[in-house]
A and B are shown apart, each in its own frame.
Chain A
Amino acid sequence: MSALNPTALEQGLQSCHGCGLLSRPADGAEEGRCPRCDEDLHFRKPKSLERTLAYLMAAAACYIPANLLPVMITNTSKGSESDTIMQGVVLLWSPTGWPLSIIVLFASIMIPSAKILALLYLVISVKRGSIKNNSQRVRLYRMVEIIGRWSMVDVFVDTFTVALIQLQPLMSVEPGPGLLFFAAVVVLTMLAVESFDPRLIWDSANAQEIQDEVPNA
């Protein structure tokens, strides 16, 4: 048993994600219920790495059509024109609009891809039993958790552009097929974040500590 950093897992205790209560499962049981709030309890989120990886792969698959297919189609009397997310960023670039253009570039293109890569790195490092950079890795996880929701911004941009520009027959805007894929990327990456258990980051280091202590004892 690790004396330096005792964990709930080593002591056979489970903490509740609903209410934070620490409790002891029935003898030998892996799963239980919280006596205070009735939430299902586990030592670690069940199948955390597998589920995170599955969501990430689905998100990565949707990321390609999300960026290649148009998200908005503008119909005017002269004909119709379709814009992908990147073209939307370029269109927004102007002497006054450039800060917003950069925000959309970050929110719609950089954040989703950075999120997928960051979570992939976390999953792989945990799978390989890494014991290095634990604090930085958990900080990366928290950052992904906080920033992730902002990639929804492009979905809202398209929603309200479409809702407002309905000046048939002069000009009207309709959503493009890329929008669904883009929304899927946002939702799938949020689910991936939710499935990952940051406590796994520390488990290898805990196991190492126990091993190191055995010769001393």
Chain B
Amino acid sequence: MQFQNQHPDCNRPLPDATLVACLDCDLLQRIPEVPAGASVRCPRCNKELWRHKPDSYNRTFALTVAALVLYLIANTVPMLGLHAVGREAFTTVVGGAQQLWHDGQELVAMLVLFAAVISPALQIGFLLAILIGCRRERPPFWVGLLLRHLEFTRTWSMIEVMLLGVLVALTKIADYAHVILGTALFALFALVFLLAAIQSTFDPREVWERVEWAETEALPPANKKSSAEVVS
């Protein structure tokens, strides 16, 4: 039998690889081929199942490299400055978390650091590794591992929320002192748009169809052929 070597609790793939179930309502359906830019939605609950994103790989790669550069700038130069009573003080994103830690709010400091610094770094890093791994003819298994956790880093990466917070804080402080906008603030602002653009160009389905399977024996030969066709 074909599956005798595989791990006992491993599921078997279906002979028909086009069949999927909606993750929001479990409805079984097939994803049709649609023209570039069009999306496929679940007929029952209207969840977007797939969007055909043209030239996904190259566009996402370019945007991600740009995002990496902006991320590095945003976290090395000052973000905000304050000029009051003859003194100047600057802070970076990490500096904000540091001050909270210093004031005894260690848990909140870690949350701020995680949402504003660590998660975006993981998000950009994972994506770059995935795209570089995809250059191989059959992307290695770790590409799938990173892609599986990409959604988590996206959920917790909150740069856009942080920028709104900074805006509110600035409005409050402007009453007391003269505020100076640092270069990092502009880099972060651009980064928000880049991350949104990445979201609209990256097509995880394209990667999943090429990635090396966890259980290689489970992959039926017919499936291998069809996945190669989709990639071209």
Query: Chain A interface (Cβ within 8 Å of chain B)?
Result: 5-9, 11, 13-15, 17-26, 29, 31-39, 41, 88, 91-92, 96-97, 100, 103-104, 107, 134-135, 138-139, 141-142, 149-150, 152-167, 170-171, 174-175, 179-180, 183, 187, 190, 194, 198-199, 201-203, 206
**B28-A92 in contact (CB<8A):** no
Complex: how many Å from CA A207 to CA B219?
Answer: 33
* Interface residue SS majority, chain B: mixed
Q: Which of A32, A35, A135, A154 has the most CB of B within 10 A?
A: A35
Q: Which residues of A contact B148 (CB under 8 A)?
A: 18-19, 37-39
Beyond A22-B21, A35-B215, 6 extra complex contacts between A and B, CB < 8 Å: A9-B26, A35-B11, A38-B144, A152-B161, A180-B108, A198-B24
Question: Which of the residues A33, A139, A162 comes within 8 Å of B103, measured between beta carbons?
Answer: A162
Q: Which residues of A contact B173 (CB under 8 A)?
A: 161, 164-165
B87 within 8 A of A: yes
Which of B121-129, B164-172, B193-201 contacts the other chain? B164-172
Question: Which of the residues B47, B91, B116, B147 comes within 8 Å of A156, measured between beta carbons?
Answer: B116
Which chain B residues in 138-171 approach chain A with CB under 8 Å? 144-145, 147-148, 155, 158, 161-162, 164-169, 171
**A160-B164 in contact (CB<8A):** no
**A174-B82 in contact (CB<8A):** no
**A36-B165 in contact (CB<8A):** no
**Min C-beta distance of B165 to chain A, whole Å:** 3
Q: Which residues of A contact B166 (CB under 8 A)?
A: 156, 160
Say whether, besides A13-B14, A13-B28, A29-B9, A164 and B211 are in contact (CB < 8 Å): no
Complex: how many Å from CA A6 to CA B44?
Answer: 11
B23 within 8 A of A: yes
Q: Which residues of A contact B13 (CB under 8 A)?
A: 21-24, 35-36
Say whether, besides A149-B158, A167-B84, A199 and B19 are in contact (CB < 8 Å): no
**A100-B171 in contact (CB<8A):** yes
B97 within 8 A of A: yes
Complex: how many Å from CA A187 to CA B108?
Answer: 11
11 A-B contacts, Cβ less than 8 Å apart?
A5-B44, A19-B148, A20-B23, A20-B208, A22-B13, A35-B218, A149-B161, A155-B108, A156-B169, A159-B97, A167-B177
Q: Which residues of B contact A20 (CB under 8 A)?
A: 20, 23, 205, 208
B70 within 8 A of A: no
B89 within 8 A of A: yes
B25 within 8 A of A: yes
Q: Which of B26, B99, B155 has the most CB of A within 10 A?
A: B26
**A97-B45 in contact (CB<8A):** no
Question: Which residue on B lies nearest to A187, using beta carbons?
Answer: B111
Complex: how many Å from CA A150 to CA B27?
Answer: 31
B221 within 8 A of A: no
Q: Which residues of A contact B228 (CB under 8 A)?
A: none
Say whether, besides A159-B96, A160-B80, A180-B107, A35 and B85 are in contact (CB < 8 Å): no
Question: Which residue on B lies nearest to A166, using beta carbons?
Answer: B89
Question: Which of the residues B9, B171, B205 comes within 8 Å of A33, measured between beta carbons?
Answer: B9
